């Protein structure tokens, strides 16, 4: 690689090492990204300098993983993770090496890495590449391949199989046959990986341009059944009507389309999980037609279970569940303005963009072709018009408050809440009634009705 491709900051940091007579290399994903013509975001360095020597060379150093030979150098406004050349022993816990030993050469250090495309070093400041495992050739051939024996690499860290498939989605690479064939034998190690680490890899898959690439490979190798059994059970569940695909392929297509829309993480997850309840509720009626009544509620419940199992934040979990529960809306021109207002309230104004995207993804994945352009446009137009009117859509928008009703004689307690909700329903049907005078009159009538024996 040309020296000009080396970032000036890296050259400055490298000069500190070379003046001290030490070697330093850029390693890992940053080198891979540079070779792919992408901007390198995270800078990881490998050196023959011991951690205490690195600490002596720079003014600001954080001992982030010093027992494993890693420190973080703060240089100007940049953070660089610096690790001493090392080799690793056995991995009893399927994640961390039992012992870390310092190595003498960069080649030894690269031999412990997972994939050949991540086992390339860039000598600093010269820009010369060190590539003992033909990682550059694999990148050129768009191939994902383990360093050395794939069974050994996957046995060292149970996350590595999922990580390899994640790169297939992110980079649109193929996975080497021997590497793929080794994954089923590593599942007993993967099952010991923490939920948080699994979640982070799934997030990267879902955030890619083609999540289905990794997810189909996960199905083929047994990872899907291990990590997302609710989704794996959708294979072979045929659907009715306009659906061309079984539930699993439909869900994968929906997730891919959500990615094409550049939708939020919640929408991508909802697209993937919106029908996972169908295997549970599937019935065949008297005419031989499959039905999936209440599948949206069951799917939402299962999605909550997945999110809790993988330790997703509560706020994301609740939005995910809400989107799935509400994804089955079918707009008709016969909807009254009151019906549109109730739709806004039910979905939530803050969720409208996401529910539209989820509906688009679901519709696309039904037949695998683009639906009619703007099939949601009439609903979106009416929703926008109603929002522009600034009419009452929640209790806080009413022209009266709970305190006003108490002053007018409504007792505190459950009845107060019931009357406020009835006032909102009244205003949703007729926004012109949202005045203090009219609402107090209606509230008085309701209060007398509840008081009457």
Reported as a single tens digit per residue, the pLDDT across 268-287 is 999 999 999 999 988 888 78
pLDDT computed for residue 288 by the predictor:
78
Q: How confident is the model at residue 89 (pLDDT cuts 50, 70, 90)?
A: low
pTM, two decimals, is 0.89
pLDDT at residue 99 is higher than 60: yes
Cα separation, 242 vs 311, in Å, equals: 36
Whose tokens are 């090392």? That residue is 86
Residue 96 backbone dihedrals phi, psi, to 5 degrees: -105, 145
CB atoms inside a 10 Å sphere around CB 254: 29
pLDDT computed for residue 158 by the predictor:
96
pLDDT at residue 452 is higher than 90: no
pLDDT computed for residue 94 by the predictor:
55
At 42 the three-state DSSP class reads: coil
pLDDT digits (tens, 9 = 90+) for 103-154: 999 999 999 999 999 999 999 999 999 999 999 999 999 999 999 999 999 9
Mean pLDDT of all residues belonging to the chain: 93
- Residue range 50-71: mean pLDDT, rounded: 94
pLDDT computed for residue 453 by the predictor:
64
pLDDT computed for residue 90 by the predictor:
60
Helix axes 247-260, 211-221, angle to 10 degrees: 150
Cα separation, 6 vs 266, in Å, equals: 37
- Residue range 405-415: mean pLDDT, rounded: 93
At 122 the three-state DSSP class reads: strand
Helix (H) or strand (E) holding 243: none
* Alpha-carbon separation of residue 166 from 133, 154, 175, 285, 314 (angstroms): 21, 14, 10, 40, 25
Range from 29-43, 87-101, 299-313 that averages highest in pLDDT: 299-313
CB atoms inside a 10 Å sphere around CB 374: 9
């Amino acid at each position: 690689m040309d020296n000009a491709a080396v970032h000036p900051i890296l050259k400055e940091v490298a000069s500190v090492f070379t003046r001290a007579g030490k070697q330093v290399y850029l390693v890992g994903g940053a080198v891979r990204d540079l070779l792919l013509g992408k901007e390198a975001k995270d800078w990881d360095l490998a050196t023959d300098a011991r951690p205490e020597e690195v600490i002596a060379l720079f003014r600001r150093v954080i001992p982030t993983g010093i027992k494993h030979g890693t420190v973080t150098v703060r240089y100007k406004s940049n953070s660089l993770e610096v690790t001493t050349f090392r080799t690793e022993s056995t991995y009893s816990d399927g994640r961390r090496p039992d012992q870390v030993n310092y190595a003498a050469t960069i080649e030894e250090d690269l031999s412990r890495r997972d994939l050949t495309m991540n086992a390339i070093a860039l000598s600093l400041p010269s820009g010369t590449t060190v590539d003992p495992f033909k990682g550059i050739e694999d990148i050129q051939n768009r191939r994902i391949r383990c360093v050395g024996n794939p069974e050994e690499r996957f046995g060292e860290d149970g996350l590595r199989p999922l990580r390899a498939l994640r790169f297939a989605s992110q980079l649109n690479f193929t996975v080497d046959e021997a590497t793929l064939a080794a994954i089923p034998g590593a599942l007993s190690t993967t099952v010991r990986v923490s939920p948080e680490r699994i979640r982070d890899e799934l997030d990267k898959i879902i955030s890619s341009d083609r999540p289905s690439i990794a997810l189909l490979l996960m199905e083929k190798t047994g990872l899907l059944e291990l990590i997302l059994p609710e989704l794996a059970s959708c294979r072979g569940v045929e659907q009715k009507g306009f659906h061309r695909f079984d539930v699993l392929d439909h869900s994968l297509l929906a997730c891919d389309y959500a990615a094409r829309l550049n939708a939020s993480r919640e929408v991508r997850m909802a697209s993937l999980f919106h029908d996972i309840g169908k295997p549970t509720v599937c019935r065949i009626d008297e005419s031989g037609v499959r039905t999936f009544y209440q599948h949206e509620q069951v799917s939402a419940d299962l999605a909550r279970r997945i999110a809790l199992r993988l330790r997703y934040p509560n706020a994301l979990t609740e939005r995910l569940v809400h989107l799935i529960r509400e994804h089955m809306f079918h707009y008709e021109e016969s909807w009254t303005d009151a019906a549109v207002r109730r739709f806004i309230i039910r979905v939530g104004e803050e969720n409208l963009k996401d529910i539209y995207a989820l509906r688009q993804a679901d519709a696309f994945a039904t037949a695998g072709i683009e639906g009619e352009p703007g099939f949601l446009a009439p609903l979106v137009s009416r929703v926008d018009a109603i929002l522009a009117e600034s009419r009452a859509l929640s209790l806080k928008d009413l022209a009266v408050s709970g305190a006003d009703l108490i002053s007018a004689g409504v007792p505190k307690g459950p009845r107060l809440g019931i009357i406020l909700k009835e006032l909102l329903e009244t205003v949703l049907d007729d926004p012109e009634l949202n005045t203090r005078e009219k609402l107090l009159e209606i509230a008085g009538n309701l209060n007398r009705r509840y008081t009457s024996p």
